[in-house]
Amino acid sequence: MTIRGIWSRLKRLALTDIRVIAQGGVDSRLLEQLEELLLTSDFGTAVTATLVDNVKQRGERGELKTQADFQRALGEAVVAALMSGRHDPSLICAPSGPSIYLVLGVNGAGKTTFIGKLATRLQREGKKVLVAAGDTFRAGAVDQLRVWAERSGAEFVSAGAGADAAAVAWAAIDAAVAKRVDVAIIDTAGRLHTSDSLMEELRKIARVIDKRMPGAPHESLLVLDATVGQNAIVQARVFAASVPISGIVLNKIDGTATGGVVVAVHEAIDAPVKFVGTGESADDLEPFDATAFAQGLFSE
Ligand SMILES: Nc1nc2c(ncn2[C@@H]2O[C@H](COP(=O)(O)OP(=O)(O)OP(=O)(O)O)[C@@H](O)[C@H]2O)c(=O)[nH]1
Ligand SMILES: [Mg+2]
Neighbours of ion ligand 2 (CB under 5 A): 111-112
Please check whether residue 248 is in contact with residue 273, taking contact to mean a CB–CB distance below 8 angstroms: yes
Q: Which CATH superfamily is domain 6-83 in?
A: SRP54, nucleotide-binding domain (1.20.120.140)
Kindly give the distance from the C-alpha atom of residue 106 to the centroid of ligand 2, in angstroms, as a whole number.
9
**Is 280 touching ligand 1 by the criterion CB < 6 Å?**
yes
Q: Sheet containing 129-132: give its strands across.
A: 155-157, 129-132, 183-186, 99-104, 219-225, 247-251, 273-277, 285-287
Kindly give the distance from the C-alpha atom of residue 64 to the centroid of ligand 1, in angstroms, as a whole number.
42
Predicted confidence (pLDDT) per residue in 199-236, tens digit = 899 999 999 999 999 999 999 999 999 999 999 999 99
**Domain ranges within the chain, ordered by starting residue:** 6-83, 99-288
Nearest partner of 30 among 49, 54, 19, 14, judged by Cα: 14
Q: How far apart are CA 76 and CA 78, in angstroms?
A: 5
**Is 255 touching ligand 1 by the criterion CB < 6 Å?**
yes
pLDDT (0 to 100) of residue 2? 41
Average pLDDT over residues 169-193: 92
Kindly give the distance from the C-alpha atom of residue 187 to the centroid of ligand 2, in angstroms, as a whole number.
7
E strand spans, 117-241: 129-132, 155-157, 183-186, 219-225
**Is 259 touching ligand 1 by the criterion CB < 6 Å?**
no
Average pLDDT over residues 67-83: 91
Q: Going by C-beta distance under 8 Å and a sequence separation of 6 or more, which residues neighbour residue 285?
A: 114, 117, 118, 121, 275, 276, 277, 278
Please state which CATH number belongs to domain 99-288. Answer: 3.40.50.300
Q: How far apart are CA 16 and CA 64, in angstroms?
A: 15
Task: Find the ligand nearest to 189 CA.
Answer: 1
Q: How far apart are CA 243 and CA 232, in angstroms?
A: 16
Residue 184 Cα to chain centre, angstroms: 19
Q: pTM to 2 decimals?
A: 0.94
Task: Find the ligand nearest to 114 CA.
Answer: 1
For ligand 1, atom 29: residue with the closest CA: 280
Q: Quick check: 278 pLDDT over 60?
A: yes
Q: How far apart are CA 240 and CA 232, in angstroms?
A: 12
pLDDT (0 to 100) of residue 266? 97
For the chain, percent of residues with pLDDT exceeding 70:
91
Give the torsion sign (CA, 141, 170, 149, 1): positive
Confidence of residue 30 (pLDDT cuts 50, 70, 90): confident
Kindly give the distance from the C-alpha atom of residue 218 to the centroid of ligand 2, in angstroms, as a whole number.
20
> For the range 89-95, what are the long-range contacts, defined as Cβ-Cβ under 8 Å and sequence gap of 24 or more?
89/247, 89/272, 89/273, 89/274, 89/275, 89/287, 89/288, 89/289, 89/290, 90/274, 90/287, 91/219, 91/247, 91/274, 92/218, 92/219, 92/246, 93/218, 94/215, 94/216, 94/218, 95/215
DSSP structure string for 177-191: HHTT-SEEEE-----
Q: Quick check: 268 pLDDT over 60?
A: yes
Kindly give the distance from the C-alpha atom of residue 116 to the centroid of ligand 2, in angstroms, as a whole number.
10
